[in-house]
């Protein structure tokens, strides 16, 4: 069972006749309960940063923001905490509490189109101050005056755009802007100080002409006093308040007290649902904390309501590409002593933990600084190393698009790993669903681009990239463990060619990645005479081979938008070497900005699940 604080109880807390800071702290604790439940119900969500910021955001929303003011979080992944607050204020429907990361519900990261209470879309880091400046300049031009409060992370401050935006904001004297750093000292993997230390943060920001202060971000008396003092200090200067917080604040075992100050330490509660046992423990602790607070201000204890937990079944015999990648990279590095790995604070999610353990001196943690990471790798390649750059596809390929091209212009070999590719997982939302990366990487002259559909193909692809490719390679990987519905056959990796998984004379699906291959496989089961070719090459396709092995109508599926995707690469290859096949090819891909929802919902919404494919081809 899941427990939550009903709206009437949240309204009761908001109406308590006590000091504003005490009221806000109690409201925040009540919202912690609902945030926890929201994430456990959704099965994923960023709990650590929702809890580190929820006292601050509660204070801003309850007491600080005026009607013409704006608040948004630049990091964006604290969205569950914000949603719980807006629900508690009656500004979002209460039933949305059980619609986190569901289609038509509340997206994993902020989205203005589905959630009008949200001010701007975030989730890709470092954009907050730039956006704040845009709002203020637009307001000034229209003769309006509104303050803008921006919450940032601390790991987020590794992004160059944050620093790029500081000086122009000071130069224009935009005193309307107040930035609050949720300084919980932990980023995705581990301690900020271990990933890429921020140095003297206050001194740095002050040197850019900002007014700066620092205080506890959980003690609202201190926080509100410091905020007021800072905002009064310099009317024509933007302000930044470093708020010292605890990641996971409010739940003892989610706070990082026991986490060693080591590079290899890993924090457990950045994202993901706690699971039943940890949920129950956290819930009990939060209720006790909330009731103690209510008792302390003479209020009745909280009344909770309950709801069934949703049931989830784990996938059967899934392909775990990231795990396979981690092992394959270590094997490649054993054979290639020049191979080094660079990471953008996603060591766990990109499968780099085994590499770091095996080759600590060849592992370079770069933090959330993709431009810096990729240019650094370029110089390493010039100096004789074989660098492999790691991040999510959604960050690595657009944020370092220029640096990747610059490296390619030097004729060196740099490898790029982009995981979390495509529209699943569907929960995080469009900031994390990478649907442009083939276009971005495939348009770099000389870049090979490859996406495996099974673990064995991951191993083949990594070995090919490390030992055989003579130029840069983009390796695109689907992240969630995913069942294919069949056992992948043994196969060789042949440049430009793929694997015929099933034959059919009526038509042939052409695609790659476990998500699309599994959907196409299931569609073949329902259609008469359809075959399936898994084609790992995203560019530089052997059109003659494919035309010969893809009889009938050809349907290219893209876990990507059509422009610049694999389907267009197939057409391009056909135009060059098998024109007749071009006339029997159609393309199906992601249309529009990716939807947020469960994986099944998202695949269906974009017409890429087996059912939609069967319908399309029977129409």
Q: Scanning residues 444 to 473, which ones bind a copy of itself (CB under 8 A)?
A: 444-446
What gap in Å lies between CA 611 and CA 26, rounded to an integer?
Answer: 48
Least distance in angstroms from the C-beta of 51 to a copy of itself: 26
Q: Which of these ranges, 33-41, 206-214, 269-277, 459-467, lies near a copy of itself under the rule CB under 8 A?
A: 206-214
Enumerate residues 324-353 that contact a copy of itself by CB under 8 A.
Answer: 340
Of the pair 198, 290, the CB lying nearest a copy of itself is at 198
Per CB under 8 A, does 135 bind a copy of itself? yes
Least distance in angstroms from the C-beta of 502 to a copy of itself: 23
Q: Which of these ranges, 173-181, 288-296, 315-323, 357-365, lies near a copy of itself under the rule CB under 8 A?
A: 357-365
Binding mask 372-401 for a copy of itself (x = CB under 8 A): xxxxxxxxx-xxxx-x-------x-xxx-x
Per CB under 8 A, does 360 bind a copy of itself? no
Extract the tokens encoding 68: 């013409």
Least distance in angstroms from the C-beta of 496 to a copy of itself: 14
Q: Which of 22, 69, 139, 495 binds a copy of itself (CB under 8 A)?
A: 139
Per CB under 8 A, does 415 bind a copy of itself? no
Per CB under 8 A, does 230 bind a copy of itself? no
Per CB under 8 A, does 406 bind a copy of itself? yes
Q: Residues of 441-460 as b/e, b for ≥16 C-beta within 10 angstroms?
A: bbebeebbbbbbbbbbbbbb
Of the pair 64, 596, the CB lying nearest a copy of itself is at 596
Decide: 178 and 227 in contact? Cβ < 8 Å: yes
Q: Which residues have C-beta within 8 Å of that of residue 196, sequence separation ≥ 6?
A: 158, 345, 365, 366, 367, 368, 369
Of the pair 262, 288, the CB lying nearest a copy of itself is at 262
Q: Which long-range contacts (CB under 8 A, 24 or more apart) does 298-305 make?
A: 298/18, 299/12, 299/13, 299/16, 299/18, 299/26, 300/12, 302/5, 302/9, 302/30, 302/33, 303/6, 303/9, 304/3, 304/4, 304/5, 304/6, 304/9, 304/33, 305/3, 305/4, 305/5, 305/6
384 CB neighbour count, 10 Å cutoff = 8
Closest CA to 538 of 508, 578, 565: 565
Per CB under 8 A, does 132 bind a copy of itself? yes
Of the pair 302, 385, the CB lying nearest a copy of itself is at 385
DSSP 434: B
Q: Which of 170, 254, 493, 524 binds a copy of itself (CB under 8 A)?
A: 170
What gap in Å lies between CA 378 and CA 371, rounded to an integer?
Answer: 11
> Does residue 301 sit in helix, strand or coil?
coil
DSSP 486: S
Of the pair 271, 371, the CB lying nearest a copy of itself is at 371
Q: Which of 301, 410, 468, 615 binds a copy of itself (CB under 8 A)?
A: 410
9 torsion bin: left (phi>0), alpha (psi -120 to 50), beta (else):
alpha
Hey, which residues does 505 pair with through a beta bridge? Answer: none
Closest CA to 540 of 486, 514, 576: 576
Q: Which of 104, 235, 296, 411 binds a copy of itself (CB under 8 A)?
A: 411
Q: Which of 22, 69, 103, 204 binds a copy of itself (CB under 8 A)?
A: 204
Measured N-to-C along each axis, helices 79-88 and 7-14 cross at an angle, to the nearest 10 degrees, of 80
Hey, which residues does 509 pair with through a beta bridge? Answer: 532, 555
Q: Which of 42, 177, 346, 435 binds a copy of itself (CB under 8 A)?
A: 435
Decide: 124 and 73 in contact? Cβ < 8 Å: no
List of E strands, 413-471: 415-419, 448-450
Q: Which of 11, 138, 284, 306 binds a copy of itself (CB under 8 A)?
A: 138
Q: Is the dihedral of CA 606, 612, 614, 615 positive or negative?
A: negative
Per CB under 8 A, does 167 bind a copy of itself? yes
Q: Which of these ranges, 42-50, 130-138, 247-255, 516-524, lies near a copy of itself under the rule CB under 8 A?
A: 130-138
Per CB under 8 A, does 171 bind a copy of itself? yes
Rg of the chain in Å (alpha carbons):
25
Least distance in angstroms from the C-beta of 185 to a copy of itself: 15
What gap in Å lies between CA 155 and CA 484, rounded to an integer?
Answer: 36
Per CB under 8 A, does 431 bind a copy of itself? yes
Q: Which of 162, 267, 464, 509 binds a copy of itself (CB under 8 A)?
A: 162
> Does residue 74 sit in helix, strand or coil?
coil
**Type and span of the H or E element at 248:** none
Least distance in angstroms from the C-beta of 385 to a copy of itself: 5
Per CB under 8 A, does 222 bind a copy of itself? no
Of the pair 252, 579, the CB lying nearest a copy of itself is at 579
Of the pair 30, 389, the CB lying nearest a copy of itself is at 389
Enumerate residues 493-552 that contact a copy of itself by CB under 8 A.
Answer: 539
Of the pair 158, 226, the CB lying nearest a copy of itself is at 158
Q: Which residues have C-beta within 8 Å of that of residue 494, sequence separation ≥ 6?
A: 542
Hey, which residues does 180 pair with through a beta bridge? Answer: 151, 241
Enumerate residues 546-585 that contact a copy of itself by CB under 8 A.
Answer: 561-565, 567-569, 571-572, 574-576, 579-580, 582-585
What gap in Å lies between CA 262 and CA 487, rounded to an integer?
Answer: 41
Per CB under 8 A, does 124 bind a copy of itself? yes
Per CB under 8 A, does 474 bind a copy of itself? no
Measured N-to-C along each axis, helices 610-618 and 514-526 cross at an angle, to the nearest 10 degrees, of 50
Q: Which of 1, 11, 137, 306 binds a copy of itself (CB under 8 A)?
A: 137
Per CB under 8 A, does 364 bind a copy of itself? yes
Least distance in angstroms from the C-beta of 348 to a copy of itself: 20
Per CB under 8 A, does 252 bind a copy of itself? no
Query: How many residues make contact with a copy of itself (CB under 8 A)?
Result: 116
Per CB under 8 A, does 619 bind a copy of itself? no
Half-sphere exposure of 554 (CA within 13 A, CB side): 27
Q: Which of 37, 52, 73, 121 binds a copy of itself (CB under 8 A)?
A: 121
């Amino acid at each position: 069972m899941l427990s939550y604080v009903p709206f009437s109880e949240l309204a009761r807390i908001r109406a308590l006749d006590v000091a504003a800071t005490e009221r806000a702290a109690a409201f925040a604790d009540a919202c912690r309960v609902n945030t926890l439940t929201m994430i456990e119900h959704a099965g994923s969500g960023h709990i650590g940063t929702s809890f580190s910021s929820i006292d601050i955001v509660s204070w801003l929303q309850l007491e600080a923001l005026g009607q013409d003011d704006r608040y948004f979080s630049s990091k964006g992944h604290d969205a569950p905490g914000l949603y719980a607050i807006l629900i508690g204020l009656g500004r979002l429907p209460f039933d949305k509490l059980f619609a986190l990361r569901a289609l038509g519900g509340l997206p994993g990261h902020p989205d203005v189109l589905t959630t009008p209470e949200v001010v701007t879309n975030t989730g890709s880091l470092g954009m907050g101050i730039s956006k704040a400046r845009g709002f203020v300049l637009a307001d000034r031009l229209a003769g309006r005056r509104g303050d803008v409060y921006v919450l940032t992370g601390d790991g987020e401050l590794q992004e160059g755009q944050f620093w790029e935006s500081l000086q122009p904001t000071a130069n224009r004297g935009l005193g309307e802007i107040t930035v609050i750093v949720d300084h919980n000292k932990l980023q995705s993997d581990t301690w900020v100080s271990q990933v890429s230390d921020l140095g003297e943060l206050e001194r740095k920001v002050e040197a850019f002409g900002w007014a700066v202060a620092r205080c506890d971000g959980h003690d609202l008396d201190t926080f509100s006093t410091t905020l007021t003092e800072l905002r009064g200090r310099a009317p024509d200067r933007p302000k930044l308040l470093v708020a010292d917080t605890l990641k996971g604040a409010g739940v003892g075992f989610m706070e990082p007290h026991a986490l060693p100050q080591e590079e290899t330490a890993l924090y457990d509660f950045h994202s993901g649902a706690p699971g039943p046992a940890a949920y129950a423990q956290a819930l009990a602790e939060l209720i006790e904390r909330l009731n103690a607070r209510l008792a302390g201000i003479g209020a009745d204890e909280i009344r909770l309501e309950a709801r069934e937990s949703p049931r989830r079944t784990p996938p059967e015999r899934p392909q775990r590409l990231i795990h396979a990648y981690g092992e394959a990279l270590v094997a490649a590095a054993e054979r290639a002593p020049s191979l080094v790995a660079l990471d953008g604070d996603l060591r766990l999610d990109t499968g780099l933990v085994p590499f770091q353990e095996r080759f600590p001196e060849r592992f370079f943690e770069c933090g959330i600084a993709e431009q810096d990471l990729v240019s650094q790798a370029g110089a390493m390649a010039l100096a004789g190393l074989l660098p492999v750059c790691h991040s999510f596809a959604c960050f690595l390929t657009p944020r370092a698009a220029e640096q990747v091209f610059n490296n390619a212009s030097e004729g060196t070999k740099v490898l790029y790993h982009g995981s979390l590719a495509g529209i699943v997982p569907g929960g995080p939302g469009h900031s994390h669903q990478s649907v442009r990366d083939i276009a971005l990487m495939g348009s770099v002259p000389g870049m090979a681009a490859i996406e495996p559909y099974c673990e064995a193909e991951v191993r083949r692809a990594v070995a090919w990239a490390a030992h055989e490719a003579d130029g840069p390679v983009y390796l695109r990987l689907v992240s969630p463990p995913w069942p294919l519905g069949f056992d992948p056959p043994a196969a060789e990796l042949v440049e430009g060619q793929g694997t015929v998984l099933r034959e059919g004379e009526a038509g042939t699906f052409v695609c790659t990645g476990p998500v699309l291959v599994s959907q196409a496989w299931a569609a073949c089961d329902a259609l008469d005479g359809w075959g399936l070719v898994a084609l790992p090459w995203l560019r530089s396709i052997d059109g003659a081979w494919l035309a010969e092995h893809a009889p009938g109508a050809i349907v290219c599926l893209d876990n990507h938008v059509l422009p610049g995707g694999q389907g267009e690469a197939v057409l391009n290859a056909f135009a060059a070497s098998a024109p007749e096949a071009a006339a029997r090819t159609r393309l199906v891909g992601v249309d529009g900005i990716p939807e947020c929802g469960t994986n099944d919902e998202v695949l269906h919404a974009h017409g890429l699940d087996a059912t939609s494919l069967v319908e399309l081809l029977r129409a």
